[in-house]
Amino acid sequence: LSVGALTSNYYAATCPLTEFIVRNTVNQALRSDSTLAGGLLRLHFHDCFVQGCDGSVLIDSTKDNTAEKDSPANLSLRGYEVIDQAKQMLENQCPGVCYDSRGSMKRGCDLCLLLLLLLFVSAGAHTLGAARCASFKKRLSNFDPNNDVDPTLDSNYARMLSRSCTAGDDTQVGFDFTRTRFDVNYFYALQGRMGLLTSDQTLYTNPQTQFIVNGYAMNQASFFSDFQQAMIKMGALDVKEGNQGEIRMNCRQVN
């Protein structure tokens, strides 16, 4: 992968264990909490779709500035501690290699961005993770004047969701039945009218995208390959190069 002055193997000579350290850190975190896989992917997505992939979502608020991570849309993001741990492990292995004391981008790569790009490989999309009952309860009762339950929702699945949500709006339900495994069960669920969110099920009810769902359900290798390429492309959105930014000593604050 190469985007202008940015390359994924930039640290191959100066800190050759970079990818191993990041991957090991992520794997350790997932062994402790497998739900972090979806959280890390979401963190990457939210960073890239606000002024490009620059690691800005990692910066903490100050008394004079409310950070991106504290905006309403980002309050439920999680996984920051994994990035902090990976950054510390890299500093321990290669002290100062990824920091330019003059705060310039002459080295052509922000380590915090690189961490985000690597983390998504260990995460997933809606084949991983869960949603709060508050985000889909409208589908379960009083859906519209003609239907109590969303007609695109399998009736047995709707009853199961209703039982799961009796504990309250903050109860979490997996997007599919293997919420901690990256597979194609998410697409199987859509075919069976068991898409958790309306936006999920629409991928199957819409004839313009139904064939994609069917294709991935039949070909896991194709989904894995396409997902990887899509995430790489997303990670290249509006990447800052040259003197457009700085290499942060601490991912949580500007130098």
Residues contacting 245, CB < 8 A, separation 6+: 54, 105, 110
Any known ligand binding at 52?
Answer: yes
The residues that bridge with 65 in the sheet, in sequence order, are 62
50 is in an annotated binding site: yes
Neighbours of 33 (CB within 10 A): 13
Q: Is 242 annotated as a binding residue?
A: no
Question: How many Å apart are CA 13 and CA 97, to the nearest integer?
Answer: 10
User: Is 47 labelled as part of a ligand binding site?
Assistant: yes
CA 239 – CA 116 distance, rounded (Å): 12
Q: Would you say 127 is a known binding-site residue?
A: yes
Confirm or deny that 56 is annotated as ligand binding. Answer: yes
Q: Is 84 annotated as a binding residue?
A: no
Active site residue 44: no
Which are the contacts of 227, defined by CB distance < 8 A and separation ≥ 6?
124, 125
Asked if residue 20 lies in contact with residue 37, where contact means CB atoms within 8 angstroms, the answer is: no
DSSP state of 59: P
Q: Which of the following is catalytic: 42, 46, 69, 139?
A: 46
Ligand-binding site membership of 238 (annotated) = no
By residue count, the chain amounts to 255
Structure-block tokens of residue 140: 């379960």
**How far, in Å, CA of 184 to CA of 198, rounded?**
19
SS3 label, residue 7: strand
Identify the residue whose tokens are 């009853």. Answer: 159
Residue among 184, 211, 199 at smallest CA distance from 127: 184
**Catalytic residue positions?**
46
